[in-house]
């Protein structure tokens, strides 16, 4: 009998989320021989359609968009060398406050227990050593990100598995740098109003509160190419405008908050698998 492979499971809301927040760790750990499992909860049907048509505009067909985004997601997984892709295929709920939040079958309307039971089955099948998802606010308040957090934490309770669990985050210093780069690449961008600026300042965590800093700079080109695979959403993916060099400088290190651990590994740590190998 051989030992089961070390396994990382990332639970994300939409096609392209896997690349933005965890593309570096997915590529790095795949290269290190770790099994990487991506669970994508929604079909991405509230994304831009062919030709850039926006949700709610004439000609926007969520089913067509979902089919296109599935192919793009599969291409991204190939770039990142993801071992296993699992799709829950709930309908994309759109941004907070959109009418699609209330659509029957949307992820936001799905009972947490239902989504968690499906995810629990996958967890019991793959038995991940590390699970990554979003924090309680879905990082920035997106309903599907919040729901992905909820079903992940509920699924862990259902299974009684004890992997290391992480929530994606950004250091406040990184968020400030991101704002500077946005203004650099969009010089005409107006300053945010005070309420918006205050909300942005709350995203992420103070640097000293982040438990885990993973250097994936060597895999930043893969991360960039994985994002670029989601070509239909290119207008919404600001990072692609930066070019690979600047992208690597900004996005090469991925940061997390460790919220469950049985290994006793000291923090801050630089490896999601610290204490496991």
Q: How far apart are CA 144 and CA 199, in angstroms?
A: 19
Instruction: Provide CB contacts within 8 A for 215, sequence distance 6+.
Output: 252, 253, 270
Residue 58 CB neighbour total at 10 angstroms: 5
The string of pLDDT tens digits covering residues 107-118 is 999 999 999 999
Greater pLDDT, 128 or 51: 128
Residue 17 CB neighbour total at 10 angstroms: 27
Q: What's the mean pLDDT when you consider all of the chain?
A: 92
Is 70 exceeded by the pLDDT of residue 78?
A: yes
pTM over 0.75: yes
The string of pLDDT tens digits covering residues 199-248 is 666 788 999 999 999 999 999 999 999 999 999 998 877 778 888 988 88
Q: How far apart are CA 196 and CA 64, in angstroms?
A: 33
Q: How far is CA 15 from CA 114, 155, 230, 263, in A?
A: 21, 21, 8, 32
Is the Cβ–Cβ distance between 148 and 132 less than 8 Å? no
In the prediction, which pLDDT does 262 show? Answer: 94
Residue 192 CB neighbour total at 10 angstroms: 12
Helices (H) and strands (E) in the chain, counts: 9, 7
In the prediction, which pLDDT does 122 show? Answer: 98
């Amino acid at each position: 009998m051989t030992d089961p492979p070390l396994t990382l499971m990332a639970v994300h809301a939409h096609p392209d989320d896997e690349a933005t927040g965890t593309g570096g760790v997915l590529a790095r750990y795949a290269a290190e021989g770790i099994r990487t499992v991506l669970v994508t909860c929604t079909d991405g049907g509230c994304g831009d359609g062919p030709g850039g048509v926006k949700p709610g505009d004439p000609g926007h067909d969520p089913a067509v968009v979902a089919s296109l985004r599935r192919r793009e997601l599969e291409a991204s997984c190939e770039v990142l060398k993801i071992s296993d892709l699992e799709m829950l295929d709930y309908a994309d709920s759109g941004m907070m406050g959109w009418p699609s939040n209330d659509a029957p079958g949307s992820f936001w309307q799905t009972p947490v227990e239902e989504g968690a039971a499906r995810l629990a089955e996958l967890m019991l099948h793959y038995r991940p050593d590390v699970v990554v998802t979003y924090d309680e606010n879905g990082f920035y308040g997106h309903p599907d990100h919040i729901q992905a957090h909820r079903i992940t934490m509920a699924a862990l309770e259902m299974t009684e598995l004890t992997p290391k669990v992480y929530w994606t985050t950004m250091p406040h210093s990184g968020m400030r740098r991101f704002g500077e780069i946005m203004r650099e690449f969009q010089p005409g961008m107006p300053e945010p109003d005070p309420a918006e600026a205050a909300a942005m300042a709350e995203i992420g965590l103070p640097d000293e509160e982040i438990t885990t800093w993973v250097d994936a700079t060597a895999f930043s080109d893969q991360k960039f190419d994985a994002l670029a695979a989601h070509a239909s959403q290119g207008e919404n993916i600001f990072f692609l405008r930066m070019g690979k060099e600047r992208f690597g400088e900004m996005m090469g290190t991925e940061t997390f908050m460790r919220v469950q651990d049985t290994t006793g590994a000291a923090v801050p740590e630089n490896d999601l698998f610290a204490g496991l190998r």
